[in-house]
Amino acid sequence: MYFLCSSAFAELSISHIAKKYSLSVVTIVALDQNDQLLSLGSGLFINTLGHIAKNPHVLESSAEAVVKTVKGEKARGIQVIRDDPKLDLLIQKHL
């Protein structure tokens, strides 16, 4: 594991990192079959294909999901690309 305290990252402040990468952050809204809120979570865009890494427990028992970007864009529905329960990691793409 590589820590941010190494000399390569010493000059980057938390605010600089947040500003640089905040557009990669998304909110995941999990809904039931009646469009009622079940849970909220977050994820990160990991490539230009729109794949999002997140923890799968956010979507447990959900019928639908909405992805919201920090710019306010919303997309309904997801496609699971990869699910790894051992790592508690899900790769998804919004439809």
Q: Is residue 5 part of a domain?
A: no
pLDDT at position 29:
94
Q: Is residue 17 part of a domain?
A: yes
CATH number at residue 73: 2.40.10.10
Give residue-wise pLDDT tens across range 3-39: 455 555 556 788 887 788 888 999 999 999 999 999 9
Please state, in angstroms and rounded to a whole number, the distance separating the CA atoms of residues 56 and 87: 10
Cα angle 22, 26, 28 (rounded to 5 degrees) comes to 160
In a domain, 22, yes or no: yes
In a domain, 65, yes or no: yes
Domain count, the chain: 1
Residue 86 maps to a domain: yes
| 49 within a domain of the structure (yes/no) | yes
Whole-angstrom distance, CA of residue 55 vs CA of residue 58: 6
Q: Say what the pLDDT of residue 17 is.
A: 79
Note the pLDDT tens digit of each residue in 25-74: 999 999 999 999 999 999 999 888 888 898 888 888 899 999 999 999 99
pTM, two decimal places? 0.74
Please tell me the predicted confidence (pLDDT) of residue 2.
45
Q: Which domain holds residue 62?
A: 11-94
Tokens representing 35 are 């469009």
Selected residue with higher pLDDT from 11 and 86: 86
CA distance 11 to 16: 9
Q: Mean pLDDT throughout 80-84?
A: 87
Question: Judging by beta carbons within 10 Å of its beta carbon (0-12, 13-18, 19+), is residue 36 exposed, middle or buried?
Answer: exposed
The overall longest dimension of the chain from CA atoms, in Å, is 51
